[in-house]
Structure 1
Amino acid sequence: MMAQSRCWGLNSRGISTPSPFLCLSSSTSSFSRPPLRYAVLGAGFAGLSVAFHLLSESAKELNLCIDIYDEIGIGGGASGVSGGLIHPYSPKAKLLWRGAECWNECLRLLSTAETAAMCSDDFDLGVSDFHGLIVQKRGILRPAVSMKNLLLLSDVILSELNVSTRIETIDKEAAQNLVPDLCVPFNTAFHMPQAVNIHPQRYLQALYVACENLVKEQSSSGIGEKELHLHKKSVHKILDLEGEYQAVIICLGAKADMLPELAGRIPLRTCRGVVAHLKLPDDIREEYPELGPSILSDAWLAIQGPRSLYMGSTWEWKSRNSSPNVSTSEASKALEELLPKAYAIYPDLKNWTFTTARAGLRAMPPLTPHGSLPLLGCVNDIVGENNGCKYWLFGGLGARGLLYHGWLGKLMAQAVLACNEQLIPSELTSWKKRI
């Protein structure tokens, strides 16, 4: 019998990394090796980012099979219901933890998804509030609505914000040139012209197409075989997958805490949020400005087009309701809460009519000295397995999921491929020391 040895390969950046599978000999063809099999639980921002980066960061000669499990399908959870607003700043107008890295990787992933959608014959670009676009480059505007808010905005030191999107402090006249009739009570607004707004469902669908494209490209090279499968089914127990996969990456958001192996053992808080879709009636001629920014305030308005927007979001803490469906009474309660806040900043919203509402159950992480950071890391000790790096958690993206998902999904994929948790910044794994 041939002696087994650990294999090494070059990842997409040319860095030599260990592969956790065993090969019989260096001369063995890659097609004769059994593929590494990874399970990704969840097809939202976290899950699809991990899947994409497992494919893009793995050695080209590696035989790899990725199974994605989601009972609803792509974007069926909180990710698909999000407002889609992306910027790298906190409510205090300060750059978030590793905001530059997160912002740049997020834009790269968005561009990859857009390219995949445009090049796909099967991706429908004709039906959307975005007129076929996945990304709206309109910017975001945040009026100062209180003295505290004004002081925070006034303290922004632009030269110290080392990120590719800038912040401008503009007066009422400049703000109303962007959005006519906007209420700017303290004559100051916070403008992020490079910030973007995406259509979450379409983005996630396009990102999955990008994953499929990577599989086709790498498999057609004749060097290594890649596979990708989406399973519309639930995984009720992690240990049900025991023996089937080299690694299981849990990207289930709030549902991660509902797995019996993790329930009550990860520091996540749940929060249900309702988002309302509003449209301008056909008999109203005055439209939202074609290039007008989205608006951040006590209620945000994510502009989808001249006659369509999303308004959000409510915060129902400790909810366990993960259904995207919203009852009539829940929708009415959400509108009663959100509309007065939105009217106070954008009075013309009174001309718009409510159409539908959807909800998502956010997974909110604990507060740390660096802010509310997602939870990453190997969870073998929590699951009860100590043999190798089998079980991983990527959760707690909270309200910043879009900003964090690209860069952190890349870090998670690199750690899983190398079976090395130390590739993840300690700020994201320190939560395990506190449980």
Structure 2
Amino acid sequence: MSSSIINTGIWSGCFFFRNNKPNPNKSLPPFSRNPKYSSSYMKTMVLSSSSFHSSTILEQPLKFAVLGAGFAGLSVVWNLLQHTSKDSRICIDIYDEVGIGGGASGISGGLLHPYSPKAKLLWKGAECWKESLDLLNIAERANASKDPSIETQNLVWRRGILRPVTNTKNTDILKENSQNFLESCRLISIDKYGAQKLVPDICVPLDSAIYMPQAVNVHPPRYLQALFTACKNLVNDLAALGYDTKEINLLQKSVHSLLELSGEYDAVIVCLGAKADMVQELSGRIPLRTCRGVVTHLELPHDVMGKEYGDHSPSILSDAWLAIQGPWNLVLGSTWDWNSRNYSPHVSASETLNALEELIPKASAVYSSVVNWEFTGARAGVRSMPPLTPYGSIPLLGCVDDIVFHDGGNNLNHKHSSKTKYWLFGGLGARGLLYHGWLGKLMARAVLSCNESLLPSELTSWRKTRH
């Protein structure tokens, strides 16, 4: 397969040149204090030149491969850049055959909040919520910094989310759980009259709904492109200050075997979602299930007067969700096709028809006016679903050297270099937008420190139970 490469950064050969005089007493960056990245490991060369008053040290950069350019991958890239000093030389290659946001991340609905369907705060919900909002702000700033002649499109709609109660068994528990919330994402229990003030055509069959006024709706493809732009801007801003120490490359090609990258990188971080199972060394050895989801795009015809969605009306969560993207556009989802191996984003006519037959009745049960909206397209993605734990269905993180370096049994695979370490960041399921910010920060710190113990034990326990 042919590949295309997008390069950001300033290099001289394969080494970065330090423009300032070396200071032998300068403290090493945090990751350099680890034996894996010790000063003896960081290869250096000394050149003599009449143009220099002293020897100039060429320090080989740390090289990282990030497989996947979705929520997980780009969060890791941003945090690798953020958690190394200006002087630290690093090169990050991002591998994704379909480019930025071309997988399940880019197709997701984009509804962001830290609560379960029963309005209970999710595992580490406060940390995840905060970090996700921080990354959204970073992406918005990058989006605003583009060429002013290019019209800026919304990355985020801050209109809140409304969840009508549709199951009598959940009425009391939803009201009880709604008393405990984050101040930064409040829960308000309202009746049908309160709900209809927010969305005039809303149906509230049990006279109860939960309103999250600070929840947001994200446009995933635009957000991911903006986050990638933020990464490039960071590299270029440092270069403008004289720190030509960072490089990121987007390589639009797939990696079928991790050992293909052995010895070329200091660390390889697998952020491929459901496609992690297509990597030779990981296939069948990670406790993840696949689930294909179809989302449909609807548009309100302009000749339907008085039915446009309110500028400040919230998106809707129910058995189906409606992610509102303006008065005339919404995304309706999602179907759940468990154990599907169909990774194509394209949706056939029959699959589209089945999706609409499933989703429209669910949506019209809470928003009757949806029948006035016209279908304009459908896309699909495959979620990577983690196993259920006492903490809920939470992602899988950790160092996977023991998996990669063995052939599937107990035999050591000798076709590897001890230099490269391999990491997994997977199983984000349907909550990738919530989890990606905080967990991307933790993963970057663990990789730079070469220390899996920096990750919460809840996220690495799958390795102990793996058979």
- Which TM-score tier does this pair reach, normalised by the shorter chain? over 0.9
Q: Is the Cα–Cα contact under 8 Å of residues 117 and 123 in structure 1 kept in the other structure?
A: no
- Residue 151 of structure 1 and its aligned partner are, at CA, apart by 2.1
Tell me the SS of whatever aligns to 2:431.
helix
Identity of aligned residues (%): 61
Superposed CA deviations along residues 254-298 of structure 1, whole A, max 9, x for unmatched, are 000111100110000000000000000121122101111000000
**Residue 91 (structure 1) aligns with:** 117
- Alpha-carbon shift at residue 148 of structure 1 (Å): 1.4
Alpha-carbon separation, structure 2, partners of 1:258 and 1:283? 47
Pick closer, same or farther for the CA change 1:386–1:341 going to 2, 3 Å. Answer: same
Q: TM-score, normalised by structure 1?
A: 0.92
Q: Is the Cα contact below 8 Å between 1:269 and 1:364 reproduced in 2?
A: yes
**Match status 1:142 vs 2:191:** no
Please, which of 114, 117, 137 is the counterpart of residue 111 of structure 1? Answer: 137
- Asked whether the 8 Å contact 2:70–2:102 carries over to 1, the reply is yes
Query: In the comparison of the two structures, how many residue pairs are matched?
Result: 421
Give the superposition deviation at 1:61: 1.1
- The Cα shift of 1:36 comes to 0.8
Q: Which residue of 2 aligns with 1:58?
A: 84
Partner of 1:222: 242
Provide closer, same or farther for how the CA distance between residues 122 and 264 of structure 1 changes in structure 2, counting only shifts above 3 A. Answer: farther
Match of 1:262 among 282, 301, 305: 282
Aligned pair 1:333/2:354, yes or no?
Answer: yes
SS at match of 1:169: strand
Deviates more, 1:273-282 or 1:149-158: 149-158
Distance 1:339 1:8, change over 3 A: farther
**Corresponding position of 2:263:** 243
Aligned pair partner of 2:385 in 364, 370, 377: 364
Secondary structure of 2:189 counterpart: strand
Q: Is the alpha carbon distance of 1:313 and 1:71 closer, same or farther for their aligned partners in structure 2, counting shifts above 3 Å?
A: same
**8 Å Cα contact 2:120/2:178 also seen in 1:** no
- Deviation digits for residues 209-262 of structure 1 (CA, Å, limit 9, x no counterpart): 000011112233334510010011111111111111000000000000111100
- Is the 2:178–2:189 contact (alpha carbons within 8 Å) kept by the matching residues of 1? no
- Residue 293 of structure 1 pairs with residue 314 of structure 2: yes
Report the TM-score, using the length of structure 2 for normalisation: 0.86
Once the two structures are superposed, what CA deviation does each residue of 1:132-153 show, in whole Å capped at 9, x if it has no partner? 1101000000001120121221
- With over 3 angstroms needed to count, the CA separation of the structure-2 counterparts of 1:218 and 1:331, relative to structure 1, is same
Report what 1:34 is aligned to: 60
Structural RMSD (CA): 2.2
> 1: distance between equivalents of 2:262 and 2:163?
49
Of residues 28, 32, 41 in structure 2, which corresponds to 1:9?
A: 28
Letter in 1 for 2:313: G
Write the distance in 2 (CA, Å) between the matches of 1:303 and 1:341.
16
- 2:366 alignment counterpart: 345
In the alignment, the residues of structure 1 paired with residue 449 and residue 420 of structure 2 have an alpha-carbon distance, to the nearest angstrom, of: 9
Whether the aligned pair in 1 keeps the contact of 2:268 and 2:420 (CA below 8 Å) is no
Amino acid at match of 2:128: C
Residue deviations 1:373-418 (CA, integer Å, cap 9, x gap): 1010000000016936610000000001000000000100011111
Match runs of 1:298-313 below 5 Å: 298-313=319-334
SS at match of 1:155: helix
The one-letter code matched in structure 2 to 1:376 is L
Structure 2 residue 424 is matched with structure 1 residue 393: yes
Conserved? CA contact 1:99–1:163, under 8 Å:
no
1:380 lines up with 2:401 in the alignment: yes
Shift of 1:155: 1.6
Could you tell me how far apart the structure 1 residues matched to 2:234 and 2:170 are? Answer: 45
SS in 2 for 1:319: coil
Quick one: which amino acid aligns to residue 87 of structure 1?
H
Distance 1:123 1:358 in 2: 30
Contact 1:389 1:416 (C-alpha < 8 Å) held by counterparts: no
CA offset at residue 335 of structure 1? 0.4
Question: Residue 305 of structure 1: SS of its match in structure 2?
Answer: coil
Aligned equivalents of 1:341 and 1:10: distance in 2?
Answer: 54
SS in 1 for 2:418: coil
1:424 to 441, 444, 455: 455
Gap runs ≥5 in structure 1: 127-131
